[in-house]
Amino acid sequence: MAFLPLRAVPLPAGTDARYREWLVGLDRALEDPALDRDAFCRSVLEEIYAPLLPDSDSLVGRIHRDQLDPRNVTLEPEYYRDIDLERYRRVKPLIWLWEMFDRSPLGENVALGVPFRRILARRIFKRCGRNFKAFHQVKLSFGYNLEVGDDVVIHRHVLLDDRGGITLGNGVSVSDYANVYSHTHDIVDGRIVFTPPTVLGDRVRVTYHATILAGTNVAPDSMVGAMSLLTRDTEPLGVYVGSPAKKIREKGEEAVARRRLATGDPLQDEGPPVLPPGAEPPPHRDPAS
């Protein structure tokens, strides 16, 4: 068994400087409490998608450009009657910016995407701890009902359905194609909705293609195995597999206590992006101008 912490992957100096310049500009713009977030979203997406858009003189071209402005788009959570419209109005432009960034040529670039999503997560989530990492195609519901601790990593194509609230403790890891729910429906009438909060305790691991059902409390240091369906609370240190998931073993307190010390993270959060000496972030133009 090999011990394989992440390795650092350097970028060309000019590329790294351009990435930081762009990210600093975004971060600074979002610091302004008077910022029109809808216009900001459209401005950023116009810059990203401009080379790919069809002729604006055609009807399809105009419709394509409509998709860059979150005011022209409806998202599924907006149809839920339990939505807090005022809270969602603040986060919707950032959720749409996140999703459209992921669908762009920039989306799968880890060096750019992880800090980009981190900037947005700090303004979307109810709480976002340090060193948060989300890879591409993560889907949120309301967004504002997510509480995320330190050193949390969310891998590719994960659904975080925070309709009833999701709490992710420190050191939580959610692997590719997993689903975490916080709402469910009556078996007879789907219009009757239950929204119990879901909690993943510190250092929980949810592995590939697993599903966590609403209202589940996943205890600290427990693990849900690949393809498993968790329907009930877990015990600390337990390993759960199957559908429905059942406890098959424990990690053991001594083994957890001997866990290797941190080896450093090449994608760690070093605070807001910092420009190279002498550089200035580009201004974001008003799309109405």
Parallel/antiparallel/unpaired status of strands 153-154 and 133-134: parallel
Is the model's pLDDT at 151 over the cut of 90? yes
CA distance 82 to 140: 16
* First vs last C-alpha separation in the chain: 59
All structural domains of the chain: 13-257 (2.160.10.10)
Q: What is the pLDDT of residue 56?
A: 76
Q: Cα separations (Å) of 93 from 24, 150, 207, 266, 273?
A: 19, 25, 30, 29, 21
For the chain, count helices (H), then strands (E): 6, 19
**DSSP H helices in the chain:** 13-30, 37-49, 59-66, 85-102, 110-124, 253-257
Q: What is the pLDDT of residue 273?
A: 64
Q: Place 274 in a pLDDT band, splitting at 50, 70 and 90.
A: low
Which among 176, 194, 251, 183 has a CA at the least distance from the CA of 219? Answer: 251
Identify which has the larger pLDDT, 145 or 253: 145
Read off the pLDDT of residues 99-139 as tens digits, 9 standing for 90 and up: 999 999 999 999 999 999 999 999 999 999 999 999 999 99
Is the model's pLDDT at 25 over the cut of 80? yes
Q: What is the pLDDT of residue 40?
A: 98
CA distance 23 to 19: 6
Q: What is the pLDDT of residue 288?
A: 44
Read off the pLDDT of residues 172-206 as tens digits, 9 standing for 90 and up: 999 999 999 999 999 999 999 999 999 999 999 99
Q: What is the pLDDT of residue 287?
A: 45
pTM summary value: 0.91
Tokens 């799309």 — which residue? 287
CB count in 10 Å sphere of residue 119: 20
Which residue type, as a one-letter code, is found at position 217?
Answer: N
Which among 122, 121, 119, 243 has a CA at the least distance from the CA of 179? Answer: 243
CA distance 90 to 218: 30
CA distance 259 to 257: 5
Q: What is the pLDDT of residue 271?
A: 67
Is the model's pLDDT at 289 over the cut of 50? no
